[in-house]
Chains A and B, each alone.
Chain A
Amino acid sequence: MSAVSVKTRAFVKQLVQLSLVDGRVSSEQVAGILEYLEKNPPARPVALLQAYHKAIAAEIAKGEARIEHAGPVTAEALAAIAAALGQRYGRPVSPLATANSTLLAGLRVRIGDDVYESSVAGQLAALSAAS
């Protein structure tokens, strides 16, 4: 992204704003933007599309709670986590669960740049780093 010019960055920002509907990335909006860019190619299309891709990925990650769990987690629990995070961040959050046995027990939730660590593996790592 560092190679991207200030002008391109500002344009990407505008495109990202246009891609959102109710604070979430809309696939229809994105498809429309891509179609527009195909018909009206910018000066450096690859750099712009890469920057747009990165920005949209970051935007999606903000609305997606990636929940890693060691044991079984009920759908209600996942929904409760998503609701709590949605309230905290002030935007709709959808849960995306994946099993991860290396956590030993507990959960690890990743949303945007933030990671909520309550797994045993994470706590043991913190202990070993402190000692």
Chain B
Amino acid sequence: MSTVLAQIESQIAKLSSKAVRKNTGVITTVADGVAKVSGLSEVMYNEMVAFPGGVIGIALNLGEDEVGCVILGDVSQLKQGDEVQTTGKLLSVPVGKGLLGRVVDALGNAVDGKGPIASSESYPVEKIAPGIMARKSVSQPLFTGIMAIDSMIPIGRGQRELIIGDRGTGKTTIAIDTIINQANINRVGLASGDPKFRPVYSIYVAIGQKNSNIVRTIAALEAAGALEFTCIVAAPAADNPANQYLAPYSGAAIGEWFMENGQDALIVYDDLSKHAVAYRQISLILKRPSGREAYPGDVFYLHSRLLERAARLDGKGSLTALPIIETLAGDVSAYIPTNVISITDGQIFLETDLFNQGIRPAVSVGLSVSRVGSAAQIKATKQVGGKLKGELAQFRELAAFAQFGSDLDAKTKSQLDRGSRIVELFKQPAFSPISIELQVVTIYALQKGYYDSADLKKVTATSVSIRDFFKARQDALLTEIRTKAALDKDLEAKIVAALDAWKSTAA
């Protein structure tokens, strides 16, 4: 009994007799996930405030007489007259490798039923982006596993590349493919025991999506074995707008931990159109002045401060961002798309027409660009695919022209034929990224005319056959291409020999 009493006594001793000062306010109105609070005279912008029942909120509007707070949690228990307290803290989320393989909400709470997150560190959700001196230029490639992108619109570690297109054009698929490809590369790299190998961890932020879609994404990542290298931040459509507004920043904080700790991370924001809509909803409820399309004046800053957090840091790691924007009827000149296009380092534009023609991924080569360019490409890809973009652009021009006349000269015909073959070659099914060494071999075969004898409809199947042959019988050669990352005469001779061997077996 005496030990029980001692325990209580020690607990009492812990209770400091010092007075604790709190700045308080009173809820005047609460509606639509936003509380107007009178008082809170010392609250700071973006500070966490505590509502009764453990509910937290963020002070977003600092008025002369009242403070507008977005509530992150159950608003049903809150009412007029309830006391609100400042906390003196900024909103932060748990970070670290404990989040890999997990699904969390915008506040970093686990929502996958796998128990609490094993994390001892937390990062503030809002953080100033790294400055000029801390940054390093983007020069290391980040392979998406999609041939059309890796060969023509290369992405580097630390780059912000926008994926833009109408609904149902395969935007999410490209992002998922990229995540799966990182997992595939990580597995090979970690198994090789190379001390210089830097794995890329992925963060997928789902904003305003249907829960069924998020489940499908998780299932796709799990099936491909990519979930163990990925963290999913989910703020589905049913979540309140405050959580949808915060989710990308939480994801960025999780990614920044990897970057600050000398590791590389990839973050996908799916999608920022819905993020802007959630922010517009909050702003309108907070009675902020609205501008074009009823978005508030700071909607550009909303995305610029988020995307600027993606960087390659000198002496540290990198955070690559793939924001997604959904357009309406292919209109890239709408408010939010133009904003995000101007912030990012390039865009992958997906066209509905191409998608409907069966050209998938439906990447529009003419409208897509990577401002980092070939700095983020390995030499082997440059050697085999350096001219592909120009050839495809020429093909599109000629194809449009050829529709008007039937008499075409031999040169034009051959250009059209080659273009059609390139288009066929770049067709790739969903969730099956191709490793960079196989991409090199596939495109090298095109340059050396190995598809010329094949029927146009069978080009895709032929390329699959080549890749299968190399995977099954030329493992050492593929490893050599991967490690050398450039084609010399010796390596080219080996590839030609292997392709000839494939040709003899395929014949």
Contacts and interface: CB of A to CB of B under 8 A. Distances in A.
Do they bind each other?
A: yes
Interface in A38-83: 54
B38 interface: yes
Contacts of A116: 19-21
A27 interface: no
Given A114-B21, A114-B22, A117-B22, A1 B38 contact: yes
A114 B23 contact: yes
Interface stretch (B39-47, B188-196, B257-265, B364-372): B39-47
Contact of B287 (A1, A2, A106, A113): A2
B36 interface: yes
Given A2-B287, A129-B54, A112 B17 contact: no
Contacts of A112: 41
A113 B83 CA distance: 10
B19 A118 contact: yes
B286 to A, nearest CB: 10
Contacts of B17: 106, 118
Interface centre among A110, A112, A124 (most CB of B within 10 A): A112
Interface residues of B, number: 26
Interface string B59-92: 0000111100000000000000000010000000
A115 B15 contact: no
Given A9-B65, A120-B15, A129-B54, A113 B40 contact: yes
Nearest to A119: B19
B24 interface: yes
A11 to B, nearest CB: 14
Dominant SS at the A interface? mixed
A92 interface: no
A2 B54 contact: no
Contacts of B241: none
A115 B65 CA distance: 19
Q: How large is the interface on A (under 10, 10 to 19, 20 to 34, 35 or more residues)?
A: 20 to 34
Contacts of B16: 123
B27 to A, nearest CB: 13
A117 B24 CA distance: 12
A117 B20 contact: yes
A122 interface: yes
Interface in B24-60: 24-25, 28, 36, 38-42, 54
Contacts of B25: 113
Interface centre among B15, B16, B24, B39 (most CB of A within 10 A): B15
Interface string B272-290: 0000000000000001000
Contacts of B411: none
Given A9-B64, A126-B20, A113 B15 contact: no
Interface string A11-35: 0000000000000000000000000
A113 B19 contact: no
Given A118-B17, A129-B54, A113 B66 contact: no
A1 B25 CA distance: 15
B66 A117 contact: no
A118 B36 contact: no
B41 A117 contact: no
A32 B150 CA distance: 79
B49 to A, nearest CB: 12
Given A2-B36, A123-B15, A129-B54, A114 B24 contact: yes
Closest 4 pairs (CB-CB, A-B): A118-B19, A1-B65, A113-B39, A116-B19
Given A1-B65, A113-B25, A120-B15, 18 more contacts: A1-B28, A1-B38, A2-B63, A2-B65, A2-B66, A109-B19, A112-B41, A114-B21, A114-B22, A115-B21, A115-B24, A116-B21, A117-B19, A117-B20, A117-B21, A118-B17, A127-B15, A129-B54
